[in-house]
Chains A and B, each alone.
Chain A
Amino acid sequence: MTLTANTDRLLFSATPHSSVEFPARLREMEDVKGSDGLGDTELRLGLPGTSTATRSAKRALPEGDEESHDELRRTSAAKAQVVGWPPIRSYRKNSFPARKAEAEAEAEAEAAAGLYVKVSMDGAPYLRKIDLSVYKGYKELRESLNHMFQCFSLGELSRREGGSGSEYAITYEDKDGDLMLVGDVPWEMFISSCKRLRIMKGYEARGLESRKH
């Protein structure tokens, strides 16, 4: 894309208060800003393919349409919470008890866009959180967990096939509260049923494998 020579000259000889002739194309885009191709740069929380009436919901709506206005506002308020906007750190958002409920709802909405599960590791004093939805499969998940818990210098997490002398196994708690070994079920099924991950010592996990059968 190149600027035409005309535009350059007009632009840079003008002071901010004189009118600058921009190419007609740009002016057009200004006019249609409300409904335009900026839509595809908008971050939405809905599934891809759904449309949201976010911006138009905030603009003037037909006066008599109170009911649908309210509904639209409600749905757009829920959907229009774009991730990370306005740019306020969660530390601040969580600091107001009255707003905490809102902040939590927002966090939930954010989390709904992902699949956040807690990961605990036996022997480690605290929990981590990961977003399962960014991984393509078990391999990537293992790699990430390896990275994450490397600071405990505990070596490779064991593979499902019953690692050769490695110490740790990855297990998860499913919807029914059962403890299962990670890797048994197809990935899609796993991410929809996994509620929490737990990295435990290999010998403890061996029981799980036999229990399953």
Chain B
Amino acid sequence: MSEERSDMSEDEDGGGGVEQKERWGPSQGGGGCGSAKSRGGVWTDPPPPFSDQVLENVLENVLQFLVCRRDRNAASLVCRSWCRAEAQTRGELFIGNCYAVSPRRATDRFRRVRSVVLKGKPRFADFSLVPLGWGAHFSPWASAMAAAYPWLERICLKRMSIADDDLSLLAFSFPFFKDLTLICCDGFGTHGLAVIAEKCRHLRVLDLIEAYLEEEEEDQVVDWVSKFPQTTTSLETLGFDCVVSTVNFEALEALVARSPALRQLRVNHHVTVDQLFRLMVRAPQLTHLGTGSFGPPAALALQGDVMEHEADLVSAFAASKSIISLSGFRDVASQYLPAIYPVCANLTTLNCSFAEITADELKPVIHHCHNLQKFWVLDTVRDEGLQAVAATCKDLQELRVFPLNATEDSEGFVSDVGLAAISQGCRRLRSILYFCQQMTNKAVITMSKNCQELVVFRLCIMGRHLPDHLTKEPMDEGFGAIVMNCKKLTRLAVSGLLTDKAFAYIGKYGKSIRTLSVAFAGDSDVGLRYVLEGCPKLQKLEIRDSPFGDPALLSGIHQYYNMRFLWMNSCKLSIRGCNDVAQRLPRLVVEVIRDRPEADDETVEKLYMYRSLAGPRNDAPPFVKIL
């Protein structure tokens, strides 16, 4: 489970990214360092005099030790000389919004980059709210980087559309390429994977996290696993649990056998337990394992070999002294769970959120997991299961409870009881994502008092507009307590019946909040206004189906250049308000996304706006109007 890459799933510090270093303000022109910079962002400064050159060299030697993005951004603002030196020594480039800056401008400024992190679509694209074909194409970035960064080693992409051709370009352009991580990306298929496997001879990491591979016709699927070099590989991480097509198991086994550096392996659900056993035998040094299917293989069940394979599995886990992270558990059969007992005491991460297990099935497992820090689970374990977690996992830092039935009127198996129990037992909790149908203000307030380390609080009461199920009051007080008591909170997602009062609390107390997600909440424009006026650190604001209109939108004019983006759909915005904002903030790209052609031109169904040095993008599809 590679969500350990905290820089991708959590907020990054300091609102970083290239755009932060250019000076922002409605009255400013190009900003950035280098007064002689032309419009296209090409450096045209005359070379500095000799002594200054020496100073810059010294500075470069010092600045190379700066790793943190925020520090680098600050250093680059000191003066032109520092800006140049910093640009020369920045090794990792983080672009939080691929449309905030043009690839050319980024590669012109930062010349010696070895690692690139690039994010594309807004998060609500995950929930089908952004129409297909909207954008975030990797191609222009691939081309620019191929030309500018021959020594590039690492690429990490999130919510980008990547074509197989792009992957080919990567494979052929970067001879030292080591690390490819794709999170929630789409557009490519097994062809692309095959080229990467074949051509990137120094590949260490190939990590596909919830990628949506293109549907391929049966006969078009490529056996990419066979394409890895036949010699010993340098593979350390191989994650393909999201790949829907089967892989050639013999090739996979042979690959694992000749990859002595392999530490993290996540296979897809086509890999059966007996196959898993064989892989584990080949790689006893694994630290992170994602199982495939964790139930009796259909074929074996017929032969009556099930018992033998269970014993094999047990011995495999007993022999795996290094495992600290487990995930997978698709199609789980509870009688197989005890096999993992030998490794439980060492586990820091356990993701069984694809396993439909009950409280009774969970308890014996969790009982052993004293060192667990990250736990993802399905709500089928109920409050009782969560109570067991609270009793044992004193070091728990991150908890995610997903719903088995992700529908509004589903039964909901966990409630305020589970939340309160967790808050009692897991005082060091930093991050929580909790789906439920029943919640009370009291439980949320309790959590706010018990878990002072909370950085991320995301509560999703699945039924829309549901109040406190005991008092029938809005959930304002609960969320209010969270923002008031949890001083380290940077990310908040609200739900349930909420009035403007909740937003007043957020505006008053949420001084560190950087990401806020709102759905079906609030009464009037005042709610949004509280947030825009009260939360100075706000970077990402995503809102759906809430009664906020033009006046609320306009109240944030002072804030939008400080933010990465604002997303609003199904609110009360009109084209007039959006035009107003677009006119007043020339460096803001204001996209109005149309859902249906017959939708009238007055109301704005979907708004996505973001600061950008690149201006309106040239790849917008016909249903996107840039104001």
Q: Which residues of A contact B (CB under 8 A)?
A: 1, 3, 11-12, 16-17, 20, 22, 26, 29-30, 33-34, 37-38, 41-43, 55, 58, 73, 76-77, 80-93, 95-99, 102, 106, 110, 118, 125-131, 133-136, 139-140, 143-144, 147-148, 150-153
Q: Does B594 contact A (CB under 8 A)?
A: yes
**Interface size, B (range):** 35 or more
Contact (Cβ within 8 A) A148 B210: no
Report if A135-B464 is in contact (Cβ < 8 Å); known contacts: A26-B500, A42-B545, A85-B408: no
Q: Does B57 contact A (CB under 8 A)?
A: no
Report if A16-B484 is in contact (Cβ < 8 Å); known contacts: A22-B501, A80-B409: yes
Q: Does B292 contact A (CB under 8 A)?
A: no
Cα of A207 to Cα of B139 in the assembled complex, Å: 35
Tell me the total A-B contact number using a CB cutoff of 8 A: 181
Cα of A95 to Cα of B244 in the assembled complex, Å: 10
In this complex, the member of B126, B217, B406, B552 whose beta carbon has the largest number of chain A beta carbons within 10 angstroms is B406
Cα of A82 to Cα of B446 in the assembled complex, Å: 31
20 other A-B residue contacts (CB within 8 Å) besides A3-B526, A95-B330, A134-B622 = A1-B551, A17-B477, A20-B501, A30-B474, A84-B544, A87-B519, A88-B435, A89-B127, A92-B353, A96-B354, A102-B405, A110-B128, A125-B217, A125-B222, A126-B215, A126-B216, A140-B623, A144-B622, A147-B621, A150-B139
Cα of A37 to Cα of B343 in the assembled complex, Å: 55
Q: Which 9 A-B pairs have the closest CB atoms?
A: A84-B127, A140-B622, A126-B214, A151-B163, A88-B406, A1-B551, A136-B597, A86-B462, A125-B220
A91: B residues at CB distance < 8 A? 210, 212, 242
Q: Does B270 contact A (CB under 8 A)?
A: no
Contact (Cβ within 8 A) B465 A33: yes
Q: Does B92 contact A (CB under 8 A)?
A: no
Q: Does B166 contact A (CB under 8 A)?
A: yes
Q: Does B591 contact A (CB under 8 A)?
A: no
Give the nearest-CB partner of A40 in chain B. B572
Cα of A152 to Cα of B435 in the assembled complex, Å: 42
A20: B residues at CB distance < 8 A? 501, 504
The B128-154 residues at the A interface (CB cut-off 8 A) are 128-129, 131-133, 139
Q: Does B191 contact A (CB under 8 A)?
A: yes
Instruction: Tell me the minimal C-beta distance from A59 to chain B in angstroms.
Output: 10
Cα of A125 to Cα of B133 in the assembled complex, Å: 18
In this complex, the member of B124, B460, B504 whose beta carbon has the largest number of chain A beta carbons within 10 angstroms is B504
Instruction: Tell me the minimal C-beta distance from B140 to chain A in angstroms.
Output: 11
B551: A residues at CB distance < 8 A? 1
B623: A residues at CB distance < 8 A? 134-135, 140
Contact (Cβ within 8 A) B462 A126: no
Contact (Cβ within 8 A) B132 A131: yes
Instruction: Tell me the minimal C-beta distance from A46 to chain B in angstroms.
Output: 13
B480: A residues at CB distance < 8 A? 16
Of B189, B242, B409, B463, which is within 8 A of A125 by CB? B189
A38: B residues at CB distance < 8 A? 547
Give the nearest-CB partner of A86 in chain B. B462
Cα of A196 to Cα of B356 in the assembled complex, Å: 37
Give the nearest-CB partner of A90 in chain B. B128
Instruction: Tell me the minimal C-beta distance from A7 to chain B in angstroms.
Output: 8
Scoring B residues 519 to 557 as 1 if CB is less than 8 Å from chain A, else 0, what string do you get? 110011110010000000000000011110001100000
Cα of A75 to Cα of B129 in the assembled complex, Å: 23
A153: B residues at CB distance < 8 A? 165
B128: A residues at CB distance < 8 A? 83-84, 90, 110
B405: A residues at CB distance < 8 A? 99, 102
Of B220, B356, B407, which is within 8 A of A102 by CB? B407
In this complex, the member of A55, A88, A110 whose beta carbon has the largest number of chain B beta carbons within 10 angstroms is A88
16 contacts between A and B (CB under 8 A): A12-B508, A16-B484, A22-B501, A26-B500, A26-B523, A26-B526, A30-B474, A58-B409, A73-B409, A77-B409, A84-B124, A86-B403, A86-B462, A87-B519, A130-B132, A134-B622
Report if A22-B166 is in contact (Cβ < 8 Å); known contacts: A55-B465, A88-B402, A91-B212: no
Contact (Cβ within 8 A) B189 A80: no
Cα of A55 to Cα of B465 in the assembled complex, Å: 9
Give the nearest-CB partner of A34 in chain B. B465
Report if A33-B497 is in contact (Cβ < 8 Å); known contacts: A84-B129, A151-B139: yes
Instruction: Tell me the minimal C-beta distance from B557 to chain A in angstroms.
Output: 14
Instruction: Tell me the minimal C-beta distance from A118 to chain B in angstroms.
Output: 8
Q: Does B613 contact A (CB under 8 A)?
A: no
Scoring B residues 444 to 482 as 1 if CB is less than 8 Å from chain A, else 0, what string do you get? 000000000000000010111100000000100100110
A143: B residues at CB distance < 8 A? 621-622
Of A41, A85, A98, A134, which is within 8 A of B546 by CB? A41
B222: A residues at CB distance < 8 A? 125
B460: A residues at CB distance < 8 A? 86-87
